[in-house]
Amino acid sequence: MPVLHNRISNEELRARMLAETEPRTTISFYKYFTIADPKATRDNLYKAFTELNVFGRVYLAHEGINAQISVPQSKVEAFRTLLYGFDPALDGLRLNIALDDDGKSFWVLRMKVRDRIVADGIDDPTFNASDVGEYLKAAEVNAMLDDPDAVFIDMRNHYEYEVGHFENALEIPADTFREQLPKAVEMMQEHKDKKIVMYCTGGIRCEKASAWMRHNGFNKVWHIEGGIIEYARKAREQGLPVRFVGKNFVFDERMGERISDDVIAHCHQCGAPCDSHTNCKNDGCHLLFIQCPTCAEKFQGCCSELCRDESALPEEEQRRRRAGRENGNKIFNKSRGRLNTVLGIPDPQ
């Protein structure tokens, strides 16, 4: 039986990826369709993707597939042929090609079976995830942005919205999609007669959110085809104004794609204009937060003086301090005054 997982350390795998000379293309895709046996599908796809030297993160469930990957440029067409021929439901599937891509987004292939391809918290047997809102293409998005009867809803997490969003889009403040869905229904009650336009990074969350809104009695619901990635690509190709402001957060090593030159966020440590996310370098923390170059130097890539000092300790002492530590939420949320929940550090601002 072949090995269907990795047995090499992350450090070595990353070093191998960085040593590659052939450029890679970062691609994301998803599809809601019925997978009768996700485990068997996972094993077959893993072997096929490995043969093409594909890296990335792939989730499968009975409800479909969700993937963010990188493919050697010389094998992109072979990958497309493989995917389209793997299952009739995947034939012709839209592949979102990264906008701001250095090809260093992933260095290993991780493929997992989950209960859902997007954790939504929905436990309603009458919910029909296929009853989605209407798709909007780039030109239609711009027209909707100018329609006073339309309300744009950002279905991404608060830290994604913070660095970039569509003009005048409403934020549904939450750390997770699961938390957002009921909040969106509640917040939009006063706009029930308006046109509701939902969007997310690549389309997977807003597609399900549009179905959830329809399930909850909203009749005029749209969502952006291919999300921010596809919108920006098509708008540029068609010479249309790009109405997304700032950076599009992505869930790989890049942590963001530049859409416009606007920097609308601020360093979480000093308040200077900045939209570069990082993870705290302290192995006992790894908090996701925004840090400017000056603070990165001052705190040596850490979120606080305490983390900086702890990361400089001998490894044995670091392990001793980490033992039994409650990790909590590893995402900075300024609105809740939370900079380092792991170490209990207060917001310095």
pLDDT at residue 1 tops 60: no
What is the tens place of the pLDDT at every residue in 61-71? Answer: 998 999 999 99
What is the tens place of the pLDDT at every residue in 261-308? Answer: 999 999 999 999 999 999 999 988 889 999 999 999 999 999 999 999
Task: Report the 10 Å Cβ neighbour count for 6.
Answer: 13
Q: What are phi and psi of 311, to 5 degrees?
A: -70, -15
Q: What is the pLDDT of residue 106?
A: 85
SS3 category, 112: strand
Q: Please, which pLDDT band fits residue 202 given cuts at 50, 70 and 90? A: confident
What is the tens place of the pLDDT at every residue in 307-337? Answer: 999 988 988 888 888 776 665 456 666 544 4
- The residues, ordered by sequence, that sit 6+ positions from 220 with a Cβ below 8 Å of its Cβ are 193, 194, 195, 196
What is the arithmetic mean of pLDDT over 204-231?
Answer: 93
Per-residue b/e over 20-36, b at no fewer than 16 CB within 10 Å? eeeebbbbbbbbbeebe
Q: What is the pLDDT of residue 301?
A: 94
Q: Please, which pLDDT band fits residue 9 given cuts at 50, 70 and 90? A: low
Q: Please, which pLDDT band fits residue 13 given cuts at 50, 70 and 90? A: low
Q: What is the pLDDT of residue 317?
A: 86
Mean pLDDT of the chain: 86
- The residues, ordered by sequence, that sit 6+ positions from 67 with a Cβ below 8 Å of its Cβ are 27, 28, 29, 30, 56, 57, 58, 59
What is the tens place of the pLDDT at every residue in 24-50? Answer: 999 999 998 899 999 999 999 999 999
- The residues, ordered by sequence, that sit 6+ positions from 272 with a Cβ below 8 Å of its Cβ are 266, 292, 294, 295
200, 206, 274, 280: which is the annotated catalytic residue? 200
Domains annotated for the chain, with CATH where assigned, are: 10-113 (3.30.70.100), 134-246 (3.40.250.10), 277-346 (no CATH)
Return the percentage of the chain with pLDDT > 70, whole number.
85
Q: Judge whether 209 and 221 are in contact, CB under 8 Å.
A: no
What is the arithmetic mean of pLDDT over 118-126?
Answer: 88
DSSP readout, 32-87? Answer: E---S-HHHHHHHHHHHHHHTT-EEEEEEETTEEEEEEEEEGGGHHHHHHHHHHH-
Q: Please, which pLDDT band fits residue 3 given cuts at 50, 70 and 90? A: very low
Give the H/E segment covering residue 247. Answer: strand 244-248
What is the arithmetic mean of pLDDT over 130-154?
Answer: 95
Q: What is the dihedral of CA 291, 26, 232, 207, to 10 degrees?
A: -100
pLDDT at residue 128 tops 90: no
Q: What is the pLDDT of residue 97?
A: 87
Q: What is the pLDDT of residue 316?
A: 86
Q: What is the pLDDT of residue 343?
A: 37
**Catalytic site includes residue 303:** no
Higher pLDDT, 113 or 283: 113
Q: What is the pLDDT of residue 337?
A: 43
Q: What is the pLDDT of residue 103?
A: 67
Q: What is the pLDDT of residue 315?
A: 86
Beta bridge partners of 134: 222
At how many degrees (to 10) do helices 177-187 and 204-215 cross? 40
What is the arithmetic mean of pLDDT over 197-218?
Answer: 93
pLDDT at residue 348 tops 70: no
